[in-house]
Amino acid sequence: MPLASAARGELILVVEDDADVRAFSTDALVELGYRVIGAADGETALRLVESEPEISLMFTDIGLPGGLNGRQVADAARRIRPSLRVLFTTGYARNAIVHQGRLDPGVELLSKPFSRSVLGSKIRQVLNQPQSLGAAT
């Protein structure tokens, strides 16, 4: 599998309230060679960030139940682990991270629907980026 070599066994946290989308994303990332844990809401995701120091990247939907949207979860997660990389996904609700037609600085977004290969490529791209400004080195 050509894309599998791109994965280096990193641990990815998939935060998605839709069970089917979470399963698709998780299965795709496992097939690509990543280790994956999942969360259906922001509170669960934040508990995992606190308890799993090996998480390299949080792949989170912007629209989440339970009072915290994906941007709020990412901000809270980065307060816990400043070096955490984040990739957002959405099929709508872009206004949480898009303003006047532009993404906020440092924000990475993958629009739904996405394929396994596009997901794998975007995850690898975000993991390969230098640490963002303000992140711990």
List the pLDDT tens digit at each of the 137 positions of the chain: 344 346 789 999 999 999 999 999 999 999 999 999 999 999 999 999 999 999 999 999 998 998 899 999 999 999 999 999 999 998 874 555 555 555 666 788 898 999 999 999 999 999 998 875 444 33
For 14, phi and psi rounded to 5 degrees?
-100, 120
Of 112, 67, 66, 68, nearest to 88 (Cα)? Answer: 112
All structural domains of the chain, each given as residue ranges with its CATH number in brackets, are 7-127 (3.40.50.2300)
Crossing angle for the helix pair 116-128 and 19-31, to the nearest 10 degrees? 70
- The pTM of the full predicted model, rounded to 2 decimals, is 0.85
Quick one: tokens of 103?
């993404």
Whole-angstrom distance between the N-terminal and C-terminal Cα of the chain?
32
